[in-house]
Each structure stands twice: as structure tokens, then as C-alpha cells.
Structure 1
């Protein structure tokens, strides 16, 4: 496998990486093999981050855990900075897919519950992703990458679309702002997941969905 010249984090600090070119180029050349490799890198990186945290995770550790060379990590991601962006992007896409799958119900309230539950279950199974997300967002907006901003917006919009469906069957409280509710639900999902991960809460995904649904039921008029 051809390995390009080593890239360092100094290059990443020169600007934001929304959809990094190294991974895109690799996928174009060898889509099947690259997808499998990136999936291995994703699982390996998140497994380490769930224990050590994102800032303490090194490229060398990810390569060792994934069973690939350090050059392969750089080939797919370009730098640790772009690796984090790609992990966020890849993990968020898997999360969004699970939400869409869980929200397949003709009853819009049941669809919201199913989507939220699917998100909680996904983060329960991928605690490293929840930890990575929280770590990156808590750095402050001035440090957010273009990728993080875009992903956050897409996930919140997905929740907002589920909430908009409620008015097709239920009488809703029009004084409540759907966008604000979507942000609140988005934050609740991640913080409930982090509470389970950091504080070893025995609360299951099924139990965590209950307080989120209280917001939904306050929006639906009896």
C-alpha cells in the first residue's frame, strides 16, 4: 500500500477540516477495502477513547488496536485532528441511520419515541462516541471544526423533522418553539448517555427515554 508523506497536527491547525481529502481520495480509489479499514479504525479509536478520553488517545494506539500501520491511519485521516473530525462524521452518520430506522412508525409520537430510544441505544453501545462528542463541544464554539458544526445542525434538524410530524395527528402547543425543543432533546440524549458512562448509572436506554418523552407530551395537548 502506498503511504503518503507523514502529516502532522500542525497542518490541521492551519484550518478546519470539514470532509478531509485524504479519506475521500482513499475511498475513491479502493472503496471496499477503505470502508472496512475505516470501520476498524472507528471501532478501535472509540474503544480507546472510552477509556482514556480523546485528548490522551494517540495515533499509535489507534493503529495498534486496529491492527494496521501508523501510516494507514495517516493515509485515511491525514492527522489526529482530521481523525477526530472523521470519527465524529462517521459516528454521527451511524447514529442518524439508527434514529431514522427507529422512527419508522405511522404514529408520530411513537416515531419520536422510537427515534430517541434508538439514539440512546446507539450511544449506550458506543460510549466512546458520546465521550468524543462531549469533549469536542465543551472546548467552546471558537474551537469547533466545520464538521462538528455541520453534524450538530444535521442531527438537530433530524429531531426537528420528527417533532414537526406530531401536528399531523395531534393538537400541539404552538407557543412552544420546535427548534428549542429539538436542541433540548439533542442535549438530553447525549447527557443521559454520558451520565451512564461517566457515573456508571444503571439507568437503561428504555428508562432514559421517559424524561425525554415528558417534553414531547408537554407539547401535545391533552
Structure 2
């Protein structure tokens, strides 16, 4: 399999390499600083002061970009999902075969989540809040990612015959869920599974949905 392009992937240090000017550098620095702290302490124990100190900026800069502690969590979720979507788009840029675009998007997403374990912990914490509530922001952002994956699934029909059931969005939910849980399993259980192995497992969903090539 041809490796995905570097744009939108994580570097060896875990930092995100993005196109110049595409992402606000201050927000990116704040995000990465917050994710490092959250990967060590968890989202609940992370403070605005710690994020500011880690990023080398004032608290006011954190408030300006992400708001108070409560709104900071929501802002980090939105920003992280924005990066995930951009990562998926960049990974598939210039690739004609929609299955290959999905493959590269899955690999890029896995690398992003592996490189940003704090974001994974943040998402899990918002899924299972101590008060038993559900994060409305997380639900909204989950839909943003699933919408993007659904677009990729829809594109399969350009090249392939696909099964009549289930519908494309259900396949997208399965791809999203499998990708996220494989990344979580690696983070929380220190799995030795490689990114390529995890991606192959997710692609089994797509290959089971493809009936055969589309002949025109």
C-alpha cells in the first residue's frame, strides 16, 4: 500500500504537520499543549494555567482562543475534530480510487489519534461523564466526522458495485467506530498492533460492502 502523504499526519514527536497557513498556529500550539497535559493527567485535572504555561502564552491567549475551562474542553473537541477532518481530506487528495482514499483516511486518522492520546482521553471522558450526562458538543462533532466518512462511502459507487444494505451512513458509523476503538485499545491497553494492521481490520468493513468493480 502506498504511504499517505505527510500533510495532515503526525510527526515522530507527535506534532501535527499541516499546510502553511491552513491552521492557526497559536490554536495548534495550544491544542497540542493541552493534549500533552491531558494524556498525562486526564481532562478533568487539566487547568487553563497549565495549558498556557505549556504553550508559553498567557492565560488570556487561552481564553481568547478556547474560552474558560468548560468552554475550553468544548473548543478543544471542535478543534480536534477539525484537524481529524482535514487529516482525512489531505490523506486522500489526488487519489482517484475511493477505496484507497478511505484506506489512507483511516491510516491518517489512526496516526492522528495515536499521536494525540490526550484527544482520545478527552473524547472518552466526554462520552462517560461522572454526572451521567452526555456531551452535546461531542455528539455534534461525532456527526461532523461521520458526515465526512459518509461522503467517502458515497464515492465508492464511482468505481464499485456496493451492497444494497446497510445504508452508506451505517457503514460510515461502523468505520468511524472501529477506527476510534482500535486507537483507544492501543492507547489504553498498550496493544502491539501496528497502524497498518488496525487499518486492515477497518478496511474489512469496506471490502465486505463492495460487491465488485463497476463496469461501464
- Same fold, TM-score > 0.5, yes or no: yes
Given candidates 93, 102, 112, the residue that maps to 1:112 is: 102
Cα distance between partner residues in 1 of 2:193 and 2:25: 33
**What stretches of structure 1 of length at least 5 have no aligned partner?**
1-31
Residue 77 of structure 2 aligns with which residue? 88
Larger radius of gyration: 1
Offset of residue 108 of structure 1: 1.3
SS in 2 for 1:221: strand
Cα distance between partner residues in 1 of 2:107 and 2:56: 33
Residue 46 of structure 2 aligns with which residue? 57
**Deviations 1:96-155 (CA, angstroms, capped at 9, x unpaired):** 11101112321111111111111111111111112211221233994313x323221111
- 1:64-103 to structure 2, matched below 5 A, reads 64-103=53-92
Residue 135 of structure 2 aligns with which residue? 144
SS in 2 for 1:171: strand
* Structure 1 runs, 4 residues or longer, greater than 6 Å off: none
Given candidates 137, 141, 152, the residue that maps to 1:162 is: 152
SS in 1 for 2:77: helix
Cα distance between partner residues in 1 of 2:52 and 2:148: 33
Cα distance between partner residues in 1 of 2:152 and 2:194: 23
Q: How many residues align?
A: 189
Cα distance between partner residues in 2 of 1:191 and 1:110: 21
TM-score (norm 1): 0.78
- Which range moves more in the overlay, 65-74 or 49-58? 65-74
Greater helix fraction, Structure 1 or Structure 2:
1
Cα distance between partner residues in 1 of 2:183 and 2:128: 16
**Deviations 1:74-109 (CA, angstroms, capped at 9, x unpaired):** 333331111111111111111111101112321111
**What stretches of structure 2 of length at least 5 have no aligned partner?**
1-20
Tell me the C-alpha RMSD between the 2 structures.
2.0
Cα distance between partner residues in 1 of 2:74 and 2:193: 30
Cα distance between partner residues in 1 of 2:128 and 2:190: 21
TM-score (norm 2): 0.80
Cα distance between partner residues in 2 of 1:216 and 1:141: 34
